[in-house]
Structure 1
Amino acid sequence: MKNLIIILFLIIGFTAFKGQTTVSPIKYEELEKRIQQESDKLLVVNFWATTCAPCVKELPHFMEVNNQYAGNPRFKMILVSLDRMVDKERVLKFIKNKNLTAEVILLDDIKRMNTWIPKFEKDWDGNIPVTIFYKNGAKVHFNDGEMSKQELENTISKNL
């Protein structure tokens, strides 16, 4: 009985802590390097914030699709939070509460937005959500605004 209780405790403990427990704050240059490092994949990069209603609305679709492709070595999804550094704990709580399975990065570079936004896409006006798709390190699709699950799946299947 004692062993059963220990095993049950371990299972509950591992289940409670699955998922991301930290958020890496990075600058634009580091994010750019990460995108280039994933050059052998279709990389889906979604820019969002916890305070953005359309962002929060589309995230469950992104997680469904991310889970579909979880075993595919040619696919990766990164969620780039544009929340402020002082809101890092809120982002972590959000990740846990919403069961975000994709990697979440906190882009701590808000003061230079006008510099890095046009480097991602010249037509990006700074609004979120925005999703950029890269294949072999090159941008293949830019989506300005909320994406439906169908739009996300279609863009992935067309480029994977």
Structure 2
Amino acid sequence: MKKIVALLMLFLFCMILKAQQNQIEVVTYEELEKRIEQEKSKTLVVNFWATTCAPCVKELPHFMEVNEKYADNPNFKMLLVSLDRLVDQERVLKFIKNKNLTAEVILLDDIKRMNTWISRFEKNWDGNIPVTIFYKNGDKVYFNDGEMSRQDLETTITEHL
């Protein structure tokens, strides 16, 4: 029995390590836009956050719970877009591991043009984070400015799946 438990623990540990990223993709706004376009056959949840944003960090466990729930759904994808600075890339990777983030995380390194691309995502976005944008079939279907509860996140996804 002890051997079975030990094997199970080893298996779970390996699965967690496999699910986490070992490196982070760094993209520009245009590359992120293309990435969103590539996922147009899915309900796509794009969350803009940073490791230094308390409300962002607070809501991430809800996002991971919901991401795990829909992980096997081929019509669903979650993308976490870090707005941390490029020089903080290692800190973001450590954060991903420490917080067990299983959704894909990318780093948007386009701070200098922030005033240009923010309004292209949403004309009413004032630049504050967290922000979550929901897409279905490549079209934006919902914009949430501020922290989301697990219930609100799940309800919004369910409405658009």
Matched, 1:111 2:112: yes
1: distance between equivalents of 2:49 and 2:32? 15
Q: Give runs of aligned pairs for residues 73-152 of structure 1, distance below 5 A.
A: 73-152=74-153
1:26 alignment counterpart: 27
Residue 17 of structure 1 aligns to a residue in which SS? helix
Aligned-pair distance for 1:14? Answer: 3.5
Q: Deviations over 1:31-59 (max 9, x none)?
A: 00000000100000000000000000000
Aligned-partner residue type, residue 94 of structure 1: F
Residue 126 of structure 2 aligns to a residue in which SS? coil
Aligned-partner residue type, residue 143 of structure 1: N
Aligned-pair distance for 1:123? Answer: 0.2
1:54 alignment counterpart: 55
Detail structure 1 runs of 4+ shifted over 6 Å in the superposition.
none
Residue 73 of structure 1 aligns to a residue in which SS? coil
Aligned-partner residue type, residue 58 of structure 1: E
Q: Deviations over 1:68-117 (max 9, x none)?
A: 00000000000000000000000000000000000000000000000000
User: Unaligned 5+ residue runs, structure 2?
Assistant: 1-6
Aligned-partner residue type, residue 64 of structure 2: M
2: distance between equivalents of 1:151 and 1:15? 28
1: distance between equivalents of 2:23 and 2:128? 26
Matched, 1:14 2:30: no
Residue 107 of structure 2 aligns to a residue in which SS? strand
Provide closer, same or farther for how the CA distance between residues 13 and 56 of structure 1 changes in structure 2, counting only shifts above 3 A.
closer
Matched, 1:35 2:36: yes
2:4 alignment counterpart: none
Tell me the number of residue pairs that the alignment of Structure 1 and Structure 2 aligns: 153
Aligned-partner residue type, residue 14 of structure 2: F
Aligned-pair distance for 1:16? Answer: 6.7
Residue 45 of structure 2 aligns to a residue in which SS? strand
**What's the Cα RMSD here?**
1.7
Provide closer, same or farther for how the CA distance between residues 61 and 116 of structure 1 changes in structure 2, counting only shifts above 3 A.
same
User: Unaligned 5+ residue runs, structure 1?
Assistant: 1-6
With normalisation by structure 1, the TM-score equals: 0.91
With normalisation by structure 2, the TM-score equals: 0.91
1:3 alignment counterpart: none
